[in-house]
Amino acid sequence: MSKLLKKKILVVDDNPGVLFAIKAALESEGYDVRATKSFEGIASLKNNLPDLIILDVFLEDQDGRDVARELKAHKWSACIPIVLLSAYPGIDKLATEAGADDFLAKPFELDTLLALVSKYT
Amino acid sequence: MCTFAKQNIMNDPPFSKMDLVTCRNVLIYLDPTAQKRIIPMFHFALRPSGLLLLGKSEGVGQFTDLFTAKDKTLKIFSKKATLRLPHFEAYVVTKNKPATLPGNTPPKVAVQMTKQEISHEIDQALLSSSIIPACVVVDTEMNILQLRGDLSRYLQFPSGKATWNLLKIVKDDLVIELQKVLTLVQKKNYAVVSKDIGMVQGEMHSTVDIEVIPLKQHARGEQLLIIFYEHKTQPHGSVASEEAHVKRNEDRSEREFALENKRLQKKLELAHDQLRNMREAQESANEEFQSANEEVLSSNEELQSINEEIETTKEELQSTNEELITVNDELQIRNVELNVTNSDLVNVLSNSRVPIIIVDNHLRIRRVTPITKRSIHITQLDVGRSISEIRLPIKFPDLKKSILDVIETMKPYSEDVVDENNNWYTLWIRPYRTTDNRIDGAIITLIDINEIKLSQIDKEQSLVFVQGILRTMREPLIVLDRKLRVRSANKAFYTTFKLSPEKTEGATLFSLGENEWDRPVVHKMLSKVLTLKDGSNLEFDHDFPRIGNLVMCVNVHQLVSKNPHEDAILLVMEDITARKFMQEKNDTFMSMASHELRTPATTIKLLAEILQKHFAKNKDKKLNEYLGKMITEVDHLAKIASDFLEVSSIKAGKLVLHEEPFIFCDLVREVVENSQLLTRTHEIQMRGLRKTLVYGDRERIGRVLINLISNAIKYSPDAKRVVVKLAHTKKDITISVHDFGIGIAKKNQSKIFDHSYQITKARAQHSSGLGLGLYISSIIIRRHGGRITVESIEGKGSTFSFALPKKKGRPSSTNGPK
């Protein structure tokens, strides 16, 4: 599959292990995964709009919820589905509050991840 | 029965068997003699128990043996039973004249004369008939009393009713003259003679002299003696010549005519005289009668008024008498009361368990109670001795002076004294007050206060003890009264809050330390405290300007005593600032640790699953098995991490339930189906599913059920099924999870819901968990107002059940949705 046809997924997590595993899981399914330690700003997306953003809540210097809110606030980025990710209980609530489309509680099953990703792409 | 009949009580025979005789205001018009006659008659007329009613001023007089007074004022008398028959005088029934009363003037003396009298009379007559002229003794009424001599020529009994009235039986020729003489005699009251009264008796013509002599008064009244003297008797005719006879006849007729004339003239004169006399007599009698009548009337009135006066006096006397009776009764009652009071007093004194000594003004013992002998060795024999002479077994420096002081000042005095045997008494000296408020000595009482004293000493000791405890206590303690004023505080309080006892005690709590307690948070805490009688672990967090931020944990206890002034609020505070800080740190750490643990678990799990997927087609069984095990253990790790987090939030009291109504059987079905997916060894059977709405935290209840089912599978490795059963009652719904596994020993059954429960070896072999699941489950169920239980037989299996109330209204939900 050419890179252009592949669905683009942005994964943001400050934990390199998780980042690596998710990237591995999704790439093995044929997604175009861009994994970053932190969100590089809304401007970084402009030229390369992802089909789905998987966002950890507690990042090193950022709050995933703020990022989600910012993304949902812009017209052009509001349509990008956002899945919030956290190991803290109550992630479901946090996600709803921040206006995210869905959530994933760590640890999650591979199948759950894949089902969720395929749902939004 | 009522009969109207006219009856003259004086003359007519009385009625008999009467129930009531009323005779009001009649007797007062009768003289005593008549009354005497009438009253026995009334007695006769009444039947036994008959009543007699008389007028106000009348009475039965001397006949108290016949009647008794029933009511003295109303004059009601009742008949007395008497054997005596009333003596009635013979009744003389006369039409015109009222019957003369016996005993006064006997009307028919001759009739009533006794035999003796008669014979005496005969004797006298025989003796005197030839000597004395014919004479007759009469009474003033002209009734003949005695006859003397030959009276046949002068008396002539008329036919008709027999009479002894001289005027009626004396010969007609003599009547006029006799009446004239009698009138003269009665007027002048000396003997009068009337001479030459012509009287024709057959052929004879005679002249008669009548002498009337008033006799001296007898017992029977005035009597008159009337004597008839006869002078000559001339025959009317004799044997003579015819001429002479004729002449004589002529002469005689002439003479007779003249004589007759003369006689008639005389008679006329006499009649005139008589008439005049009679008129005079009548007039004078009339006058006399009138005056007598007036006199009688006035005396009657006087009598009546006297009677009334007597009545009044009698009534007064009666009332005085009644008053006297009342006074007497009162006196008697008073006497009885005094007797009772006296015996009461004697009893009180002799039974009193309190030693009492009464002394007079000179301190001489007047009275003691028997008990004094035992406690202070004063007996009845000491009565009369001065109390200062007696050595008392109590330690009291100057009893004499104290008693005299009390008598002087009249102020009671008391002191606690101890005797030789170390018994404590309160010695009271009180003035002895007589009933007329005079001070006459003193009363000394000894009240045994040994027990009180001992308990007081005990109390003092325990107070010292308590104070010691408070002093050594590390926690600040403060005692407030109802108005939140500080009653006392311990040393730790002063140290902790940097206060001095002088500025604290008596001040209100809010004014302490420059009003630094007067803050909303303290007010809030206190208002919460005051609603509780007993409370513990009430936290409050306050920034004290002088001390800094303190987090205090307060225990409160309210002492409610009978006297509201003694109510106390005990506040014990614990400075938990440091602990709180540590706890918060700990919570953060737990949360962080849990998060940190789960993050790598996520990585491992994901990678393992990718690998598993990757090698799914690979025939290397071991690889797949190992990967599977890895995933399970990673899940377990994640679970332990979340259990830790849950427990730490429970411990910190931060467990928040997200409650909402949900259909319980749907949750059960969901959980069972999911659990079924995770096991290949066991079949999970469901029974008794029924649609029921339950209010609660669906996710957490689901987790409890998952926990129970996974435990059931875990601890029944050799069994093939697990039974999940639902049971409904009106109030709640019960779900039980039944396994056929190893079971739990009886002694451990009660402990398995404790978080500190250390799993047995048997369990440990099959489990790698920390055993927190059941602890968390029990907390969750309890928070829902439900209960969780276990029944188990070792080697046979266990049944874990929990019941949830169907309706909302449990006590625990503090953070439920609004």
Residue A118 contacts B where some CB pair is shorter than 8 Å: no
* CA nearest to B591 within chain A: A88
- Residue after which a domain boundary falls, among B545, B575, B605: B575
The pLDDT assigned to B110 comes to 41
Q: How far apart, in Å, do the first and last CA atoms of chain B sit?
A: 102
Number of structural domains chain A divides into: 1
pLDDT at B45: 86
User: Are B133 and B246 found together in one domain?
Assistant: yes
Residues B44 and B156 both lie in one domain: no
pLDDT (average), residues A28-53: 88
Residue-wise pLDDT tens digits, A50-63: 999 999 988 888 88
Q: Is B191 inside any structural domain?
A: yes
In a domain, B520, yes or no: yes
Candidates B609, B632, B640, B654: best to mutate against A (most CBs of A within 10 A) is B609
Cα separation, B206 vs B648, in Å, equals 182
B 601-620 residues with CB < 8 A to A: 601-603, 605-607, 609-610, 613-614
* Inter-chain CB proximity B634 and A15 less than 8 Å: no
- Residue A79 lies inside a defined structural domain of this protein: yes
Residue B37, domain extent: 1-104
- The amino acid at residue B142 is M
Q: Is A96 among the domain residues?
A: yes
CATH of the domain at B492: 3.30.450.20
Contact flag B598-A107 (C-beta cutoff 8 Å): yes
d(CA A85, CA A53): 10
- Six-digit token string for A69: 């809110």
Residue where one domain finishes, among candidates B295, B320, B344: B295
Residue B513 lies in a domain: yes
Assess B592–A contact: CB distance below 8 Å, yes or no.
no
Chain B residues with CB under 8 Å of A87 CB are 594-595, 598-599, 602
Distance CA B458, CA B621 (A): 84
Of A18, A28, A88, the CB nearest to B602: A18
Q: Are B271 and B404 part of one and the same domain? A: no
One domain for residues B423 and B488 = no
Query: How close A37 comes to chain B (CA, Å)?
Result: 14
Q: State how far residue A40 is from chain B, nearest Cα, in angstroms.
A: 22
pLDDT value of position B1:
66
The Cα A39–Cα A84 span in angstroms is 13
The reported pLDDT for the residue numbered B800 is 92
Residue A25 lies in a domain: yes
Provide the domain count of chain B. 5
B607–chain A nearest CA distance, Å? 6
B484 in the same domain as B437? no
- Cross-chain residue pair B607–A21, CB shorter than 8 Å: yes
Q: Is A115 in CB contact (< 8 Å) with chain B? A: no
Q: Which residues are CB-contacts of B143 (< 8 A; sequence separation ≥ 6)?
A: B107, B108, B109, B164, B165, B166
Contact between B599 and A18 using a beta-carbon 8 Å cutoff: yes
Separation of alpha carbons B29 and B19, rounded Å: 25
Tell me the ipTM for this assembly. Answer: 0.87
Do A120 and A101 touch, CB atoms closer than 8 A?
Answer: yes
Last residue of a domain, one of B575, B596, B624: B575
A42 in a structural domain: yes
A1 lies in some domain:
no
Full residue range of the structural domain in which residue A18 is found: 8-120
- In chain A, residues with a C-beta closer than 8 Å to the C-beta of B638 are 106-107
B163 lies within 8 A of chain A by CB: no
Question: Is residue B182 a contact partner of residue B140, using CB atoms and an 8 Å limit?
Answer: no
Residues of chain B neighbouring A28 (CB-CB closer than 8 A): 610, 613-614
CA distance B631 to chain A (A): 9
Instruction: Please indicate whether, in this complex, the C-beta atoms of A25 and B601 are within 8 angstroms of each other.
Output: no
Is residue B113 domain-shared with residue B90, that is, in the same domain?
no
Comparing alpha-carbon positions, the chain B residue that sits nearest to A28 is B610
Q: Same domain, yes or no, for B713 and B798?
A: yes
Q: Residue B64 is part of a domain; what is its CATH number? A: 3.40.50.150
Residue B684: what pLDDT? 92
Q: Is A63 among the domain residues?
A: yes
CB atoms A108 and B614 under 8 Å: no
Within the 20-59 window of chain A, which residues sit less than 8 Å (CB to CB) from chain B? 20-22, 24-25, 28, 58
A91 in B contact zone (CB under 8 Å)? no
Q: What is the CATH number of the domain that holds A70?
A: 3.40.50.2300
Residue B126: inside a domain, yes or no?
Answer: yes
User: What is the 8-class DSSP label of residue B380?
Assistant: G
Question: Which strand ranges, in their side-by-side order, compose the sheet holding B477-480?
Answer: B486-489, B477-480, B568-575, B548-559, B534-544
Residue of B nearest to A109 (CA): B606
Contact B416, B395 (CB under 8 A): no
Indicate whether B559 and B488 sit together in one domain. yes
* Same domain (yes/no): B94, B201: no
Question: Which DSSP string do the residues of B646-681 spell out, in sequence order?
Answer: HHHHHHTT------EEEEHHHHHHHHHHHHHHH-SS
For residue B611, tell me if it sits in a domain.
Answer: no
The DSSP 8-state label assigned to residue B85 in this structure reads P
pLDDT tens digits, residue range A55-88?
998 888 888 889 999 999 988 888 899 999 888 7
Domain membership flag for residue A47: yes
Q: Is residue B757 part of a domain?
A: yes
CATH of the domain at B750: 3.30.565.10
CA B646 to chain A, closest CA, distance in angstroms equals 10
How confident is the model over B412-436, as pLDDT tens digits?
998 888 888 888 888 899 999 888 8
Residue B624 placed within a domain: no
Block means of pLDDT (10 residues each) for chain B, 818 residues, are 78 82 84 83 86 85 83 85 63 46 44 54 59 79 81 82 84 81 81 80 78 69 74 56 62 79 84 86 89 91 92 94 94 94 89 87 88 83 86 81 88 87 87 88 88 89 89 86 85 86 84 79 77 75 80 83 79 84 82 82 88 81 85 84 80 79 90 88 89 87 90 88 90 90 83 64 48 84 89 89 76 38
Return the pLDDT at B646: 81
Using omega within 30 degrees of 0 as the cis cutoff, is the peptide bond preceding A107 cis? yes
Our CA-based measurement puts residue A32 at a distance from the nearest CA of chain B, in whole angstroms, of 17
| Contacts A–B by Cβ distance under 8 A | 62
A45 lies in some domain: yes
B650 belongs to a structural domain: no
Q: Where are the alpha helices (DSSP H) in A1-121?
A: 16-28, 64-73, 75-78, 91-98, 110-120
Which of B432, B423, B424 lies closest to B403 in space, CA to CA? B432
Of A20, A88, A113, the CB nearest to B595: A88
